[in-house]
Amino acid sequence: MAAHRYWRLRLPAIDGTYGYADIAEVRFLDRNLTRLTGGTATSSAFYDNNSSYNAAKAFDNSVTSYCSLIPAATMYLGYTFTAAVEPVFLHVIPSRQGNDSALNLAYIVEWSDDGAAWTVQRSDLRMDGHVHLIGPNVAAVETAAHRYWRIVYLEYQGFRGDGPAANAAKVRMRESLTGVDVCSGGAANRNAELSTTYAASKAFDTDPNSYWYSGNNWGTTPNYICYTFASGVTRNIVNFNIQTDYDDELDTAFKSYAVQWSDNGTTWVTSWIETGIANWNSKGQTREFTAPGIVAPAPTGKRYWRFRVQRCIVDNRFPTIHELQLRNTVGGVTQVGFGATISNNPDGNPSNAFDGSTTTGWDAQTADDAWVGYDFGPTNWKSIVEVVLTATVAEYAPLVAHVESSADAVTWTHEWMCLTPSATAPSAVVFTKPAVATTALAWAAVFSASQDSATMTQVADMEMRATYGGPDQCTGGTARGSAIDGYSTATIAGRAFDTSNTTVWFSEGRPVASFLAYTFAAAVAVKEIAILAPTPNGYPDTPPTQGEMYYGTDGRSFLRAWSFSGLVYTIDKPQVVANDNLAPVQPLRRRQGMVC
């Protein structure tokens, strides 16, 4: 499209109820949404030939005055510019001063070089208060940093008779497709807000239940949400995501938008425009948008990460997590903040686990493998190496949990296991992924089933061996184990490693994620374990039948080493051996007279 002097709106028909059309404003805008001026308003016949309702009233930058068109062979409202112009946007505002005679009325945009021969520019528009693209969307993405950035809502998913309204539950901005949200330390701004309850700051806080809401807007300034960075701080925003709130209808979601920057908060320049956005399909939906020409690097790491709880400190409780940090460097910052929470217990408010507050939390609705996690998005995959857990209610705090990753949220990869270090509520416990090794200070056997019982696991004695059939290494260290209400005391857990056949370790509750662990004085290899079942009545009493071996360095974080299953204990064989390749081994000497 080229520049032209003559521009107009032609009305093919008007509502017969009123017989005229009241139009408050017609705004031809450039790419920066700046109003084009300098010329003369024109129109077909207007009401009573009264200058109070003439064409100029639709171009006076005020919505309190209006032009009132009456039926004519060709009904139009236009502007003859002093020099040829090439509008990019058109913002038409129907008058709300009278009877809404032009509300959502269809019109055609036309241009001319002589005021006589007219060419249609767009014929699919209505007087809905939206800002419509009528000119070229030329890519001119900003490459420099600036202090002020805003997202301008242009077109919306639906029409609202009370005026266009915008909302945003959360807005996050980035300088790269692999970066983190940079909206911190500054201040939020907006064109309007319904009340302080729906202030602009709500779009940038960590409360998942708060949001910014503009209220209905028939004004000349389109709805926008803005972030002003701190004095001396500038950013080059090339990517953002936005979440709709859970309360308003989807007609407040945008179908097209413009991202603009400013150095003074007054003069704005458009960085990029996106139109034709696919419909939003649910309240609370989060979507990501990127400047043209910005190409994401090949993803590394995984898109989805989750924290799966197998057992709470008190068994069979529903886990509660008050805060969870996911870090991609040891001692670094959480990478959460530019994506979406995920959970198999969505009714428990999973976003509360990532809101930066320990006064809120995710409350699972099941005790069986409940998990909460984060979707980092299609371009922002992460390699998480450290998790920080805060769970302030001991009874519902995770005791045994697993960090897992996925590329598709269907197939999950085990990364490492976490054992809460005490039977009290963990406050900011750090779980760092161990390095792969052949020897380690800490080893743990985590069981998943026991013989003839769904409510108890017992072990009379357990050896951890470096070689098949070799000697037991469990001496000079510290024992730990699960119990009905957290950890077994050191004395009770130690019964499994005391070489005595008269003492028994027991873990009441579900066998799932019951465990025995041993921290050695020096790093060792464990290639085989030997488990002796208690036989108080001559028959093996609820020993473990399957599980997994884990190793680590600090007694909190463990890598999976190997698994075992199918263990069967009998009167003649109360001791069973499991190893990392099922090689034949030397059995333990059977012990008699054990008590618990």
**In the predicted model, is pLDDT for residue 460 greater than 70?**
yes
Q: What is the average pLDDT across 315-334?
A: 94
**The pLDDT of residue 592:** 35
Burial class of residue 231, CB neighbours in 10 A (0-12, 13-18, 19+): exposed
**Does the structure show a pLDDT above 70 at 492?**
yes
Say if residue 119's pLDDT is above 60.
Answer: yes
pLDDT, position 583: 42
Q: What's residue 529's pLDDT? A: 96
pLDDT at 249: 79
pLDDT score recorded for residue 455: 86
Q: How confident is the model at residue 16 (pLDDT cuts 50, 70, 90)?
A: low
How many Cα atoms sit within 13 Å of 244 on the Cβ side? 23
> pLDDT at position 588, please?
41
pLDDT the model gives residue 490: 63
- The residue-averaged pLDDT of 349-369 equals 89
The predicted pLDDT at position 423 comes to 73
Instruction: Please answer whether residues 578 and 564 qualify as being in contact, where contact means their C-beta atoms are separated by less than 8 angstroms.
Output: yes
pLDDT at position 368 is: 83
Report DSSP state, residue 590.
P
Q: In the predicted model, what is the mean pLDDT of the chain?
A: 91
Answer yes or no: is pLDDT of 13 > 80: no
pLDDT of res. 15: 61
What is the mean predicted confidence (pLDDT) over 433-438? 97
Residue 56 φ/ψ, nearest 5 degrees = -60, -25
Alpha-carbon torsion angle 59, 62, 65, 70, nearest 10? 30
Higher pLDDT, 477 or 208: 477
Q: What's the first-to-final CA gap in the chain, in angstroms?
A: 89
Closest CA to 287 of 295, 278, 296: 278
Q: How confident is the model at residue 340 (pLDDT cuts 50, 70, 90)?
A: confident
Report the alpha-carbon angle 488-489-493, nearest 5: 65
pLDDT in tens, 510-565: 899 999 999 999 999 999 999 999 998 878 989 999 999 999 999 999 999 999 99
Contact call for residues 87 and 4 (beta carbons, < 8 A)? no
pLDDT at residue 585, rounded to an integer:
39
Count of all residues that appear for the chain in the document: 596
Is the pLDDT score of 163 beyond 50?
yes
Residue spans per domain, the chain:
4-133, 148-290, 304-432, 440-579
Contact 322, 493 (CB under 8 A): no
pLDDT at 98 over 70: no
Residue scoring higher pLDDT (363 or 206): 363
pLDDT tens digits for 225-267?
Answer: 999 999 999 999 999 999 988 777 788 999 999 999 999 999 9
pTM of the shown model: 0.73
Residues 6 or more apart whose CB falls under 8 angstroms from that of 470 comprise 528
Q: What is the pLDDT of residue 318?
A: 93
Output the CA–CA distances (angstroms, integers) from residue 345 to 342, 364, 374, 596, in the order listed.
9, 6, 13, 38
Q: What is the mean pLDDT of residues 49-56?
A: 92
Q: Are residues 415 and 431 in contact, defined by beta-carbon separation less than 8 angstroms?
A: no
User: Is 177:380 a contact under the CB 8 Å cutoff?
Assistant: yes
Q: Compute the average pLDDT of residues 454-466.
A: 93
Cβ atoms 90, 55 nearer than 8 A: no
pLDDT at 596: 31
User: What pLDDT is recorded for position 1?
Assistant: 65
Q: Which one is predicted more confidently, 51 or 1?
A: 51
The C-alpha torsion from 373 through 378 and 383 to 386, rounded to 10°, is -30
* pLDDT value of residue 73: 85
For the segment 88-97, the average pLDDT, to the nearest whole number, is 93
Give the pLDDT confidence of 377-387 residue by residue, as tens digits.
888 899 999 99
pLDDT tens digits for range 279-317: 998 888 889 999 999 887 888 899 999 999 999 988 889
CA triplet 37, 39, 44: central angle to 5 degrees?
115
Mean pLDDT for 367-379 is 91
The one-letter code for the residue type at 364 is A
Q: 569 to each of 409, 572, 578, how far by Cα in Å?
A: 39, 8, 12
pLDDT reported for residue 586: 38
Torsion of Cα atoms, 147 then 151 then 152 then 153, to 10°: -170
Q: Which residues pair with 463 in a beta bridge?
A: 530
> Residue 593 pLDDT more than 60?
no
